[in-house]
């Protein structure tokens, strides 16, 4: 049995501004670092054998802060990068809607058929993310592993393991420093926890 502690990164300045980040390498805000520290103080398990992260700094830093007590080197994997928003990166919802109204409508209602200019599809995102997850699981049988990634990445992973069509990925919340716990046993995934931010209620005024 392998246990995966799947995290979303802490808040960034672009999160605060409502900008689509995608693969732009945006740093954590001070609040984002505080969120990661709160998670470290209230981590959901007492033992971790490995820590993996997207290679984008907001996820790397979240992983390093949140898992500091376990003395594990953060191993990065580009397959865990956020969705490639292409021409939409750095823009707000209002700006995208003004320039690409039909595409933005698909973003929420039909992400399974969304085409982002110079970006990628959610099918491509899910494929690369699950390749990383399956490899990590196979390399850590019987261990507990932290995996720090991004909102869209986490949603596609959860959709895959729960057999939910990609059309419905926005039905799942993924807040900053959200904790999801998955157990892999005998070839199957079991979801034990989704989008928990109990550590923030314990340590921060939000």
Please choose, from the candidates 90, 92, 75, 76, the residue with its C-alpha nearest in 3D space to the C-alpha of residue 24.
90
Give the dihedral of Cα atoms 168, 172, 177, 179; nearest 10 deg: -110
Q: Identify whether 9 is a catalytic site residue.
A: yes
> Which entry of 61, 82, 89, 120 is annotated as an active-site residue?
82
Q: Identify whether 82 is a catalytic site residue.
A: yes
**In sequence order, which ranges of the chain are alpha helices (DSSP H)?**
13-17, 30-41, 57-66, 93-99, 101-109, 122-139, 151-162, 198-203
Please choose, from the candidates 24, 21, 26, the residue with its C-alpha nearest in 3D space to the C-alpha of residue 62.
26
- CB of 69 within 8 A of CB of 55? no
- Three-state DSSP at 25 gives coil
Half-sphere exposure of 34 (CA within 13 A, CB side): 10
Give the dihedral of Cα atoms 95, 24, 62, 190; nearest 10 deg: 80
Phi and psi at residue 76, to the nearest 5°: -95, 150
Q: Provide the annotated active-site residues.
A: 9, 82
């Amino acid at each position: 049995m392998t246990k995966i502690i799947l995290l979303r990164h802490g808040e960034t300045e672009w999160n605060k501004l409502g900008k689509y980040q995608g693969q732009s390498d945006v740093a954590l805000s001070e609040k984002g670092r505080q969120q990661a520290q709160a998670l470290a103080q209230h981590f959901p398990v007492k033992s971790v054998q490995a820590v993996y992260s997207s290679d984008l700094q907001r996820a790397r830093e979240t992983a390093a802060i949140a898992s500091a007590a376990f003395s594990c080197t953060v191993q990065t994997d580009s397959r865990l990068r956020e969705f490639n928003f292409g021409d939409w990166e750095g823009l707000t919802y209002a700006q995208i809607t003004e320039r690409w109204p039909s595409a933005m409508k698909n973003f929420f209602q039909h992400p399974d058929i969304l085409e982002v200019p110079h970006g990628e599809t959610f099918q491509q995102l899910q494929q690369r993310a699950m390749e990383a997850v399956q490899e990590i699981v196979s390399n850590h049988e019987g261990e507990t592993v932290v995996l720090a990634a991004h909102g869209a990445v986490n949603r596609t992973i959860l959709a895959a393991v729960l057999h939910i069509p990609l059309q419905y990925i926005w039905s799942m919340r993924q807040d900053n420093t959200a904790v999801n716990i998955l157990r892999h046993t005998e070839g199957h995934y079991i979801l034990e926890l989704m989008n928990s931010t109990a550590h923030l209620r314990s340590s921060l005024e939000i």
